[in-house]
Amino acid sequence: MGRLTAPAIASKKVRAGDDPLVMVTAYDAPGARIASEAGADVILVGDSVAMVVLGYDDTLQVTVDDMCHHTAAVARAEPGCHIVADMPWMSYHVSPEETVQNAARLIRAGAHSIKLEGGRKRLPMIDRIISAEIPVMGHIGLTPQSVHAMGGFKVQAKHAEHARKLLAAAKSLASAGCFALVLECVPDRVAAMVTDEVDIPTIGIGAGSRCDGQVLVYHDLLGIEDRLVPRFVRRYADLRAVSVSAVSAYAADVRSGAFPSAAESYRMTDAEAGELDLCDRQVSSREMRW
Ligand code: KIV
């Protein structure tokens, strides 16, 4: 099966008999190859790169340059997945002209579409991006770029009034032409209501099982990031523990002289060694420490 296009994704609804969409983040070529080989439908080059790769406490620190750098790395791997790139904070807040230019940079870096956060107030910018023929994925509920305005990373739309507003935002994004919608950290019943009421696919993260797809952050699902494990993360591996143990074994081997072995070293012919008067020099692993 070929790579999904934005229009193909837009028509995927579980209620119409489609399989749920599988989206996973990736930020570099090895991650993109793994996601592709694992059969993910969509790779999100998320601004979560700020937290899980670049060591920041929130996503507000990454720039369009950063996102282009990571998007290009993912694209160079030529994954068989649709690539969505996140527009970082302040790249779509200032003017429509700047917004379209920034979206275009992400497409030129290798993305097939972009994602941005927020509801109705983003409609003018979304309209301009779509007018430039760039497909847009929406993102509502917990929008991490609003961490300060929201007062922290908190579950959203827990009250009926807020759930109604979320539904109105979802409908407005769908009417504006978004091809899919991320719902982050909202109660499962609210996500189900939105999923039933819009015709584009919903992709949930912390939004229960009744979405048209799911997304997880690569480093969370592989257990590379284990400092904070939100309730919605399922860890499918413990790569951090595996990695610490592998690097510890390497460190021990270097210190004992067990690494590198002769098989892991390059050889000079006896004739060449003779020229250098090195013929009877035996290189043991231990000697290679100098
Ligand atoms: O940046 C990201 O990883 C995201 C997902 C949490 C949806 O936006």
CATH code of the domain in which 202 resides: 3.20.20.60
Q: Is residue 234 part of a domain?
A: no
3-state class of 127 per DSSP? helix
Is residue 278 very low, low, confident or very high in pLDDT (cuts 50, 70, 90)?
Answer: confident
**136, 130 contact by CB (below 8 A):** yes
What pLDDT sits at residue 281? Answer: 67
* Residues 39, 147 share a domain: yes
* Residues 118, 56 share a domain: yes
Range scoring the smallest mean pLDDT among 73-82, 108-117, 192-201, 224-233? 224-233
Q: How far is the CA of 248 from the centre of ligand 1 (A)?
A: 32
* Residues 270, 210 share a domain: no
pTM recorded for the entire structure:
0.94
46: Cβ below 6 Å to ligand 1?
yes
* Catalytic annotation, pick one of 97, 184, 275, 287: 184
143: Cβ below 6 Å to ligand 1?
no
* Residues 283, 193 share a domain: no
* Angular region, 20: left φ>0, alpha ψ -120 to 50, beta rest: beta
Which candidate, 114, 166, 160, places its Cα nearest to that of 135?
A: 114
Q: Is 184 a catalytic residue?
A: yes
What is the pLDDT of the chain when averaged over all its residues?
Answer: 95
* Residues 137, 279 share a domain: no
How far is Cα 87 from Cα 103, in angstroms, rounded to an integer?
7
* Residues 208, 149 share a domain: yes
* Residues 264, 158 share a domain: no
Nearest CA to ligand 1 atom 2: 46
Tell me how many domains the chain contains.
2
Asked if pLDDT for residue 285 goes beyond 60, the answer is: no
Structural domain for 188, as ranges: 6-221
* Residues 137, 15 share a domain: yes
Q: Is residue 203 part of a domain?
A: yes
Q: How far is the CA of 1 from the centre of ligand 1 (A)?
A: 25
How far is Cα 195 from Cα 201, in angstroms, rounded to an integer?
7
Q: Is residue 139 part of a domain?
A: yes
Is residue 227 very low, low, confident or very high in pLDDT (cuts 50, 70, 90)?
Answer: confident
Mean predicted confidence (pLDDT) in 110-117: 98
Nearest CA to ligand 1 atom 5: 46
Q: Is residue 246 part of a domain?
A: no
205: Cβ below 6 Å to ligand 1?
yes
Q: Is residue 127 part of a domain?
A: yes
* Residues 183, 263 share a domain: no
H or E element, residue 203? strand 202-205
Q: Is residue 106 part of a domain?
A: yes
Q: How far is the CA of 142 from the centre of ligand 1 (A)?
A: 10
What pLDDT, in 10s, does the model give residues 168-192?
Answer: 999 999 999 999 999 999 999 999 9
Query: Degrees (nearest 5) of the Cα angle 202, 115, 54?
Result: 115
DSSP per-residue string spanning 151-180: TSS-----SHHHHHHHHHHHHHHHHHT-SE
**122, 116 contact by CB (below 8 A):** yes
Range scoring the smallest mean pLDDT among 4-18, 233-247, 265-279? 265-279
What pLDDT sits at residue 282? Answer: 65
Mutate which of 52, 182, 216 for ligand 1 pocket (most atoms within 8 A of beta carbon):
182
Mean predicted confidence (pLDDT) in 18-37: 98
Mutate which of 139, 146, 216 for ligand 1 pocket (most atoms within 8 A of beta carbon):
139
Atom of ligand 1 at shortest range from CA of 25: 3
Mean predicted confidence (pLDDT) in 34-40: 98
Asked if pLDDT for residue 289 goes beyond 50, the answer is: no
* Residues 159, 41 share a domain: yes
CA dihedral for 83, 84, 85, 91, sign (positive or negative): positive
* Residues 180, 141 share a domain: yes
H or E element, residue 192? helix 188-197
Mean predicted confidence (pLDDT) in 60-68: 98
Q: Is residue 244 part of a domain?
A: no
Mean predicted confidence (pLDDT) in 126-131: 98
* Residues 192, 89 share a domain: yes
Is residue 280 very low, low, confident or very high in pLDDT (cuts 50, 70, 90)?
Answer: low
